[in-house]
Amino acid sequence: MEGGVQEEERFGTAYTGVPPHKGVNFKDVVREFMRGLLEMSVEFGRGCKDVVQQSLVTEDSFLVRNFGKDSYIGKKIKVPCDNVLRRLRLFNEYLVPEDKDPFHAWSVILFVFVLALAVLIVITERDTAISVAKKVYIHPPSADRVMLPDGRYMAYREQGVTADRARFSMITPHSFLSSRLAGIPGLKASLLEEFGVRLLTYDLPGFGESDPHPKRNLESSASDMLFLANALGVSDKFWVIGYSSGSLHAWAALKYIPDRLAGAAMFAPMVNPYDSLMNRGEKYGTWEKWTRKRKFMYFLARRFPRSLSYFYRRSFLSGKHGQIDQWLALTLGRRDRALIEDPIYEEFWQRDVEESIRQGNAKPFAEEAVLQVSNWGFSLADLNLRKKQRGKGILNLIKFLFSGSEEEYTGFLGPIHIWQGMDDKVVPPSMTDFVHRVLPGAAVHKLPYEGHFTYFYFCDECHRQIFTTLFGTPHGPLSNTMEVEQTSFDDMEVQEEEVTEGDLKTD
C-alpha cells in the first residue's frame, strides 16, 4: 500500500515537471496549466490555417473558382496586370539582381514612399506647431485711467466723437479673457461719426491696466460703470453693450443704475446656467451644447473656485499663445471656426489677450468665472417693468389718495435688444429663449446661420444694422458751435468816421 502511494507520488511529480523530492504547489500547477493552454492554442491556430487553406485556396474552393486566374474575373484583369508588369520590367536594369521581380520591387518602393510621406507629414505638423506657439508679448502701458472713489484706477478707451458732439453714448464692458481693446471688434470710426456715437470701453478690475477689486461683485461693477460715465462727462443717459459673458455686467447696470441707461444691446448674452428660473428644456438645451471640459470648469467655478488658478496657469497664463477654442473649451460651428482662423481675427485676438493678462494674475479670471455661476444678488425677473406695490393698510391708502402722485414703476423702462446667432454653441439659443421668457418685453433678433463671433466681429454690414436698430436714421454728431460775426477794429474806426461826418453835415 505504501509502495503504491509512493509510486503514485513519484509519477505525479514527474508528470507535472516538479522534481520528486519537492511537493506540488499552486504556482507550479498554474504554470503547467498555462503552458498546456498555449500549446493547445498553437495547435488550434494551425488547425484553423489548414481548414482555411483546404476550403478557400484549393482549386475547388469558392475564391479560386470565382476570382482565380482561370475564372472569368481573373481573365478580365490578367491582361491589364500583365501590361503593367511588362512596363515595370523596363526598370529592372536599375534594380539589384534579387529584386528583378517587378511585383516584389514595386511593393517595396510603394512601402518606402508611404513611409517617407508619413514622416514628412509628421515633420511638417511639428514645424507648424512650433511656429504657431507664439510667445505672449506684454506691451508698455498706454491706457488713459481715472481714479475711483476707493482709490483704485480704472483704465478706459474712448472712440468716436467727442463728449460735446456725442448724440449717443455707449459703454461696453468686455467679456472673459478680453480687455478694453475689444469694444465692438472691427467697428469703423466713420460709422461712429455718421451716427454721432461716443464709445467707451474699460478694463474690468484686475484685467488690463485696471487695479483689482478686493471684494468685487455685480453691484460694485455697476458702480464702477456709473463713476466712469460721470468722470468722462457723460451727462445724459447712455447705452450699455453686453457681449457674451460681458453681459453679466450689462445685466447688473440694468438692475442697479437703471435711471442712467437709455437702453441695452445684448449679443449672445450669458446668464447663470444654474439659474433656478430655467426650466428643464432650457437647461438641457444649454448644457448639451457644451464640451465636457467646459462643464467641468463650470463645476469647479461653482464648487472649487480656488482650483481654477491651476488650469488658467497651464493655458492662457502659460506665456504662449494658443487657440481660443482650446483655452476656453469652446465648441464652435463652421462659420465661427472659419472666422477665428482668419489672420485678421487672430492678430486682433492675440493683442486683446496680451492686454487682458498683462498683470499675470489668475485671481481676476477666477472671480469672473465664479460670477457667472454664482448668485448674482438679483434675478432677471426683477428687470421686468411693473407697477410698484404700495403698502397695505388704511394709512397707506389715505396717503396715496391725498398725495396725488402718479403710480411708480419698478424694473427697467428702456428698450432691451438681443441679437442671438442660431448656430451659436458657446452661448446656445436656449439661453436667449430663457431671457425672452423671463423678460417678454425684450426685442429678440434671431440670426439664422450666425455663430458666436460672426455677427459681432468684423462685420461692417452687421454693425450698421445694429446702429440703425438702436438709433434709427443717422444724423451725424451734434453741432454745438455757433458762428459769431466778429468786427475788426479797423472796421469799427471806419464806421465811427462815417458817423462823425454825417453829424457834421447835419449841423
Residue 406 has pLDDT above 50, yes or no: yes
For residue 506, name the pLDDT band (cuts at 50, 70, 90).
Answer: very low
State in Å, rounded, how far the first CA of the chain is from the last one. Answer: 177
CA 304 to chain centre: 22
Share of the chain above pLDDT 90, in %: 60
Place of cell 539582381: 97
In terms of residues, how long is the chain? 507
Place of cell 444691446: 265
Residue 393 has pLDDT above 90, yes or no: no
pLDDT in tens, 210-259: 999 999 999 999 999 999 999 999 999 999 999 999 999 999 999 999 99
More confident residue, 119 or 22: 119
Mean per-residue pLDDT, 193-204? 98
CA 136 – CA 388 distance, rounded (Å): 52
Among 265-269, 323-327, 376-380, 398-402, the minimum mean pLDDT is found in: 398-402
Burial class (CB in 10 A: 0-12, 13-18, 19+), 166: buried
In the prediction, which pLDDT does 50 show? 72
In the prediction, which pLDDT does 26 show? 67
In the prediction, which pLDDT does 18 show? 44
Residue 467 has pLDDT above 90, yes or no: yes
For residue 54, name the pLDDT band (cuts at 50, 70, 90).
Answer: low
Average pLDDT of the chain?
Answer: 82
CA 95 – CA 460 distance, rounded (Å): 64
In the prediction, which pLDDT does 285 show? 94
CA 223 – CA 217 distance, rounded (Å): 10
In the prediction, which pLDDT does 397 show? 59
- Within 6-64, strands assigned E span none
CATH tag for 144-471 (out of 3.40.720.10, 3.30.70.1170, 3.40.250.10, 3.40.50.1820)? 3.40.50.1820
In the prediction, which pLDDT does 30 show? 72
**What does DSSP say about strands 197-202 and 153-160: parallel, antiparallel, or unpaired?**
antiparallel
In the prediction, which pLDDT does 137 show? 93
What is the model's pTM?
0.69
Which amino acid is it at 143? A
Mean per-residue pLDDT, 421-445? 96
Q: Which residues, 6+ apart, have CB-to-CB distance to 461 below 8 Å?
A: none
pLDDT in tens, 292-301: 999 999 999 9
Helical residues (DSSP H) of 133-188, grouped into ranges: none
Residue 499 has pLDDT above 70, yes or no: no
More confident residue, 2 or 39: 39
CA 503 – CA 392 distance, rounded (Å): 83
Mean per-residue pLDDT, 66-79? 66
Residue 491 has pLDDT above 70, yes or no: no
